[in-house]
Amino acid sequence: MNPLLEAPSIKYGAIPFDQIKPEHFIPAIKSGIEEAKQNIEKIKSNSAKPDFTNTIVALETSSEHLDIAIGTYFVLFSAEAPQELQALAAEISQLHSAFASDISLDETLFNRVKTVYETIDKKALTPEQFQLLDKSYKSFARNGALLKGQDKEALRQIDQELATLTPKFSENVLAATNAFELLIDKESQLKGLPEDAKQAAAELAEKKGHPGKWMFSLQAPSYIPAVTYIDDSQIRKQITEAMAFKNFKDKFDNSEVVMNLIKLKHKRANLLGYKTHADYVLEERMAHTPIKVNTFLERLLKFSKPAALKDLSELEAIKKSTGSKEPLQRWDLSYYTEKLKMQKYDFDEEELRPYFELEKVYQGAFKLVGKLYGLSFSKVPDVPVYHNEVEVFEVKDKQGEHVGLFYMDFFPRETKRGGAWMTDFMAQGLFKGKIIRPHIGIVMNFTRPTKTKPSLLNFDEVSTFFHEFGHALHGLLSKCTYRSVAGTNVYWDFVELPSQFMENWVLEKEVLDLFAVHYQTGAKLPDDLYKKLKASSKFMAGYNSIRQLNFSILDMKWHSTDPSTIKDVESFEIASTQETQIMPRIPGSNASVSFSHIFGGGYSAGYYSYKWAEVLDADAFEYFKENGLFSEAVAKKFKENILERGGTEHPMELYKKFRGREPDPDSLLRRDGLI
């Protein structure tokens, strides 16, 4: 029996993770492809005139079994992928890519879609139907349907190669992350490190067979405290350099993978009639063109760079005040940032950690969206999970109606990639002839509980949880008909609005009072500590902004440059980031080779989306503050026009329905104190 091929028999139609084994995927995906091809043949051979139902909707629902099998595999590939599962990535990606090429390059099928697109009365369609039609037509056109002969085959070959290289990049990043272990045998070397982080390092060492010692890895909950608090600069240097050198000129070098990806993407864009990959990508974004993106980034850089240089001068001054004659280095940044924060605000973020017990944080987020949107969450222990640390909740609305399932996976593992993300196990919309509710998950790499304490988060982890929870709400609250335009299936530079919007709430005392209580005493976060947090919220805003701009500009350079002019990964990165490099680079370091967002994920020519969406979220949150933090009227408008509508209209139209106008471009600069 293959559970991926069986009709769902579990409550809510949940994925039977407890029954799925690696050997089930290839047969299930091949079966799904075969079923989808049969459905496509029925569309092509239909003698009736092509129309919205017999062609567009039929195509939308043609690969339902395949979608579940492929989706489930890539959920696990990112979150719980032992070697035997990782080993399937290339074959599965190639199978899926070949099938996608068969569809997009099928002339008969495209002609039916084209006929509907050109002859249907578009005024008779709902906005959602029009978006599905437009998306269906463009999906063919942007994936080679208008090509002829050899060009079609060339595109097919490129897509096959990309399908192999992209997971290879991610596998290398995970392997390099797991390969680094720094073992410390003298406690005196850990001076400055908080006790919680020290205990976690001791437990990691014990787990790795070194009891009585301390170990650090490149996983965020281990890496960040080490570079932020350890007084010994040589240890900070070792860990910082390990991160900077990861995947560059080592056993898991991604240099060749990056160059091949860039060449293939550029060649693909040229074949399809675009000057660069960035031109291709941005055609379907709010920003629309590389010129508009670059203008946007340049304006932010104009205000961010002077502020960033001022931030660095303050760090240099505090380092000199300790008697050091060495210039500020990259391994000093987090360390002296923390010292400066203490000096300016008498504030050590570690003071917050006892008030951020993980369970109370997520229960507080649940309370917040209960106030805003009338949602309630109840744990469901009988839903299968892919790892015993995953928790599942049923979400209901204020009428008690089922909204969806919500999965949370909190802690680092060697089988999980780094970072944090939202994923849909089952998207909302039409499936098997019914409109189904979604199954949504968020995956993170947070501070683990120790033998003596629960998981206590730092403020960045709290913000990260709220960020991913915002994405989850976008998926959970979706009220669309078609899965292709439901939930987070929106323009890439709009998708970060619901997530970044949620981060604003954790700086409001009324919200923190919902969950920020001391894990031992139950006392609420003291007012003086909150005031320090709030006062420091714009601290290092210039540096933090230029750091994001550095990644955004690097991404745009990679994807808007002719690869034939690129000599190698190292020299290109150095040249591309000259404007944003305000610190001496570590010789031999390279960020591109582990830049998973753009080479292992979906953010190629799209990393600017974070800053773009920050403008939207700053403007949106101003609306809440103007009308009352928990304004029912504003929350209703945000829910009904943003969270429920997916990609059923152009995002600017949805935003204007919520806000009553286009976003104020200066809202972000105001929030960050840069103007």
> Among the options 338, 461, 468, 573, which is catalytic?
468
- Give φ, ψ of 15 to 5 degrees: -70, 130
Decide the pairing of beta strands 429-431 and 434-436.
Answer: antiparallel
CA distances 136 to 50, 110, 348, Å, are: 14, 9, 52
Tell me the C-alpha distance between 593 and 262, whole Å: 12
Q: How many Cβ atoms sit within 10 Å of the Cβ of residue 38? A: 10
* Residue 326 three-state SS: coil
Tell me the C-alpha distance between 438 and 405, whole Å: 7
Tell me the C-alpha distance between 196 and 305, whole Å: 35
Helix (H) or strand (E) holding 442: strand 439-443
Decide the pairing of beta strands 214-216 and 391-396.
Answer: unpaired
Helix (H) or strand (E) holding 152: helix 149-179
Q: What is the 3-class SS of 483-538, one letter each residue? A: HHHCCCCCCCCCCCHHHHHHHHHHHCHHHHCCCCECCCCCCECCHHHHHHHHHCCC
Helices (H), 374-507: 459-476, 497-503
Tell me the C-alpha distance between 426 and 421, whole Å: 16
Decide the pairing of beta strands 376-379 and 429-431.
Answer: unpaired
Cβ distance 593 to 254 under 8 Å? Answer: yes
Residue 298 designated active-site: no
Cβ-based neighbours of 167, under 8 Å, separated by 6 or more = 77, 89, 90, 93, 600
Catalytic residues, which ones? 468
